[in-house]
Amino acid sequence: MTMPLIALAGNPNTGKSTIFNALTGSRQHVGNWPGKTVEKKEGVLRFQNQSITVVDLPGTYSLSAYSLEEQIARDFIVHDRPHVVVNVVDATNLERNLYLTAQILETGIPIILALNMQDLAAARGITVDSAHLSHLLDGLPVIPMAASLGQGVPALKQAIIQAVTAAPATAPGAEVVV
């Protein structure tokens, strides 16, 4: 049986790599996407007797594939069909970040919203009601985080375990047109 697979997706500079490192620690492999020059990070999250493969996708603003990074992110989500996508969003720029969220929702893959950079948002006087945001997104798990400070990482790990155990097995080759 293969390990469950999750993808970290989000706009550039939202803290995906910080979250990746917090989830996987030193258990990571850095390489290149086949035939591409964009770096690929893959690691293993070990939590509550579970092992889960984590892939840190290149930063992308959409799944429309205008750039190589966007094409790689889109192809991984649409063709590889991870069990769960952890969509990392910047709490200081929610509107721009939620465009990608809406596109990922259309794929039908379970999503966890990692509402990162809460510390920077608070410093700018921005407050995001994560429970209300979850309600507006039909109950999507929204995990408030300040990953650079380690805040929210345990809650994200717990949400990942819950999502992976609840996610239906992904059919190989099943894909969604975006």
Tokens of 21: 């490192």
For residue 132, CA distances in Å to 36, 90, 91, 121, 156 come to 40, 17, 14, 17, 18
Residue type, 54: V
Per-residue pLDDT tens over the stretch 163-173: 998 866 544 34
Per-residue pLDDT tens over the stretch 12-32: 999 998 999 999 986 555 555
Residues 87, 104: contact at Cβ < 8 Å? yes
Q: How confident is the model at residue 67 (pLDDT cuts 50, 70, 90)?
A: confident
Tokens of 142: 């929204």
* CATH 3.40.50.300, applies to 5-166: yes
Domain ranges of the chain: 5-166
Helix (H) or strand (E) holding 86: strand 84-90
